[in-house]
Amino acid sequence: MANQMHTKGGALVLVLNLLLLTQSQTEAKLLTRCQLAKELLRHDFPRSYLSNWVCLVESESGRSTSKSMQLPNQSVSYGLFQINSKNWCRKGRRGGICNIKCEEFLNDEISDDSRCAMQIFNRHGFQAWPGWMSKCRGRTLPDVSRC
């Protein structure tokens, strides 16, 4: 009887782990370069800046929709574009200049990320992103012409 309970308990843990793994896979994506380029175009990013946006995302998040990173100033950057909680969003509630919960930037639906990134760009240009400044500005940009 105890062995039967142990086996059932182990099966339950296995099923729960599989459910959690499946859930995390549907909520976050690691995009290829071409998938990213196509998604950006689908969300109305201008083709003329597409290589800059791809370089920015690659340098900021490694094309992962689920990346979050705590910074020394205690703010956190979220998602593909590494949008920061200091000004642009609020953790746990809607707020910031983009009027959104920061956690919304961690799923694989990038419409809200794209809108906020464009707001940031319209105010500050690519210079708002340290990754673009250090790895893209004045350098050879990714070739997305065959995407």
| Alpha-carbon span 110 to 142, nearest angstrom | 21
DSSP state of 102: G
Instruction: Enumerate domains of the chain plus CATH numbers.
Output: 33-136 (1.10.530.10)
pTM of structure: 0.81
Exposure string of 89-128, with b = 16+ CB inside 10 Å and e = fewer, is beeeeeebebebbbbbbbbbebebbbebbbebbeeeebeb
**Predicted confidence pLDDT, tens digits, the chain (147 residues):** 544 444 444 433 333 333 333 333 346 789 999 999 999 999 999 999 999 999 999 999 999 999 999 999 999 999 999 999 999 999 999 999 999 999 999 999 999 999 999 999 999 999 999 999 999 999 999 999 999
Answer for the pair 101, 90: CB distance below 8 angstroms, yes or no. yes
